[in-house]
Structure 1
Amino acid sequence: MKILTNYLRAILILLASLLVLIFIYLFPDFITAGSYTHISIFIKIYFGIGLYISGILSYLIIGFTWKLLHLTDKKTIFTTSGVHILQRIKQIFYTIAFIYIVLAPAFRLMNSNDDSPIGILLDVFLIMLALMLGTFVNVLQLVVQKRTANYKQKPGLKYDNN
């Protein structure tokens, strides 16, 4: 189990590094692109704040996932702390989806000069991705809650690797 969690930790480190690159290079380019001169500075600030908040929330997801891997190593994932961490991750995914729903008009304004629907499609993709991941974590949370309730009802049961 430890080898698998170390592999997953390496992937989390890679994701965090890629997120840093997105913060440094991609987000400022989205906000201050030269082709968006027709958009007011307030819309750009609104769009930028939304992007950076969603990025910070993504870091929180990575941090909570790290804690979940720690619980897996200790074989205590089926506890109330495991359920609590999954609940937090679910709430963060739904918050990210809400942020991109609120940013939908800004995505539309960024695309107002050309007929390409890429901005709206990107926004819809990000919303659906966050909702799907939130739903998946919700299912995981329900499974862990059920297993935790079974362990509380039957005190002789212990966590096994199966």
Structure 2
Amino acid sequence: MQPSQHKALLVIDMQNGLFHASPAPFAAEPVLANINQLIALARQAHAPIFFARHIGPDGSPFAASSPLTQLIPELQMNASRDRVFVKRFPNCFRDTELLAALKSADIQELVIVGMKSEYCVDTTCRAAADLGFRVVLIEDGHTSVDNGVLSAEQIIAHHNQTLAGPFVQLVSSAAYAF
């Protein structure tokens, strides 16, 4: 079996209400380009691609039917091949079908990109490592916004530094191969 058949790409919360918010996420366009490059590489390798959408309670701005929760149209998603799932928590595994889908596909390495670095990306990286996956965090494939204490650039750098080693293998988008 080829190694790429044991790898999957997880794109977290690249949705209108986060990516197209004001202020814009740090390095939004380069991060989007890097994610789309990884989507293309995963597709060429026939690796499964999963897209997470974060939703909130009915009646909230992030209700499931809200345009804010819809994935951004700039993503190179293929609705007939890729899997989209909704989540209500920062951990992409909590109360979702993601773990079962990854196990069913015999995935051993999970490549993670998306938003926001300090919330869903961080939480999912840690959870995936705890679940026994080899986790690859694409260092230039996740983003956030300034939070009043740290700039988004600092948040991203901090999470890359903190997660690398015990939780993830940190790799640039240009250096990763499926």
TM-score (norm 2): 0.27
The structure whose residues are more often strand, as a share, is: 2
TM-score (norm 1): 0.29
The structure whose residues are more often helix, as a share, is: 1
